[in-house]
Amino acid sequence: MEIKNKVEDLEKSAKVIREEIIKMLIQAGSGHTAGPLSMVEILVSLYLNILKQDPQNPDWAERDRLILSHGHVCPALYAVMAEAGYFSKTELQELRKFGSPLQGHPHREWLKGIETSSGPLGSGLSQAVGMVLADRINTFPGLDSKKVNKFFYCLMSDGEMQEGQVWEALMLAGKEKLANLIVIIDRNNIQISGPTEKIIPLEPLRDKLEAFNWQVLEIDGHNFEQIIGAVETAKKVINLPFEENKPTVIIAHTTPGKGFPEFENDYRWHGKVPSAN
């Protein structure tokens, strides 16, 4: 397992990111708190260790692609992108301001480094599947070719797994054996109106995903070694014979509002922001 930055450095970055998220939300006066805080370690792992990227050339053709399906957690995405060098950290205080590139849901035409605009929950996986299929057609015409030069990462909430469109995309990805598609589900067990298992139960989630022909891994979504290790395992699928290829979904068990005890595991902080006091 390759870790470019030491875990201690990643943990320090995660602490800084969480502080930035709270500052951004207070300044904006609107947004979401619980979800961004639960995604910090996942995004830090991706942007500071895993992604093949060039922040100074965000349109680099050979870059990995990251699709954020649950766009409302974008304060975490923006803070980590600034940490990675995509833009100045001073811009973070422009969150949700009129005309700002840092909108309440990412807008690909307004901010370099954003692959897709998001908003409607449940659509991100369909977008990711389409992007992988398009890249397959552009890169090689034969479905059994081993030429894979980039990975596609789709980050999702658990609540949006209740959308029918998600399961259509899961079926297609499994059927097409999209081995360079890696989905990470933020399994924090809440949504805007309550716990996921009380709204529309998702369990047994792993069994359902495996039945759709996906490789399924489960991790602690706040443990850097587990996050990076799971991605390394997911990448190895491309080395198998094509008939054994599968896309991978990583179920990352996280704590909503992580890092702030007054927010943790309370669904009411899904769409609520802290006050300056």
Query: 88-111, pLDDT tens digit by residue?
Result: 999 999 999 999 999 999 999 999
Would you place residue 276 in the very low, low, confident or very high pLDDT band (cuts 50, 70, 90)? confident
Q: What pLDDT does residue 120 have? A: 87
User: Where are any strands of DSSP class E within the chain?
Assistant: 65-68, 152-157, 181-187, 190-191, 194-195, 215-220, 248-253
Question: Which residue, chain included where needed, has tokens 């389409």?
Answer: 130
Q: What pLDDT does residue 146 have? A: 52
Q: What pLDDT does residue 1 have? A: 47
Task: Tell me the C-alpha distance between 219 and 224, whole Å.
Answer: 10
Q: What pLDDT does residue 140 have? A: 61
Alpha-carbon separation of residue 21 from 78, 92, 150, 190, 223 (angstroms): 9, 9, 30, 19, 19
Structural domains of the chain, with CATH: 7-269 (3.40.50.970)
Is cis: bond before 204, omega within 30 of 0? Answer: yes
Task: Tell me the C-alpha distance between 78 and 227, whole Å.
Answer: 20
Q: At residue 232, does pLDDT exceed 60?
A: yes
Alpha-carbon separation of residue 223 from 4, 17, 70, 116 (angstroms): 15, 16, 21, 27
Q: What pLDDT does residue 171 have? A: 98
Contact indicator for 212, 167 with CB cutoff of 8 Å? yes
Q: How far is CA 233 from the centre of its chain?
A: 17
Q: What pLDDT does residue 148 have? A: 76
Choice among 21-35, 128-142, 176-190 with the minimum mean pLDDT? 128-142
Q: What pLDDT does residue 76 have? A: 98
Task: Tell me the C-alpha distance between 97 and 93, whole Å.
Answer: 9
Instruction: Give which of 51, 14, 57, 9 is closest to 184, Cα–Cα.
Output: 51
**Mean pLDDT of the region 29-47:** 97
Instruction: Give which of 172, 203, 211, 198 is closest to 185, Cα–Cα.
Output: 203
Mean pLDDT (the chain) is 94
Contact indicator for 78, 24 with CB cutoff of 8 Å? yes
Q: What is this structure's pTM? A: 0.95
Query: 121-177, pLDDT tens digit by residue?
Result: 999 999 999 999 999 988 765 554 456 789 999 999 999 999 999 999 999 999 999
Would you place residue 39 in the very low, low, confident or very high pLDDT band (cuts 50, 70, 90)? very high
Alpha-carbon separation of residue 147 from 136, 177, 180 (angstroms): 9, 14, 11
Q: What pLDDT does residue 138 have? A: 81
For residue 182, list its beta bridge partners: 153, 248
Q: What pLDDT does residue 145 have? A: 47
For residue 116, list its beta bridge partners: none
**Mean pLDDT of the region 32-49:** 98
Task: Tell me the C-alpha distance between 225 and 82, whole Å.
Answer: 23
Query: 66-76, pLDDT tens digit by residue?
Result: 999 999 999 99
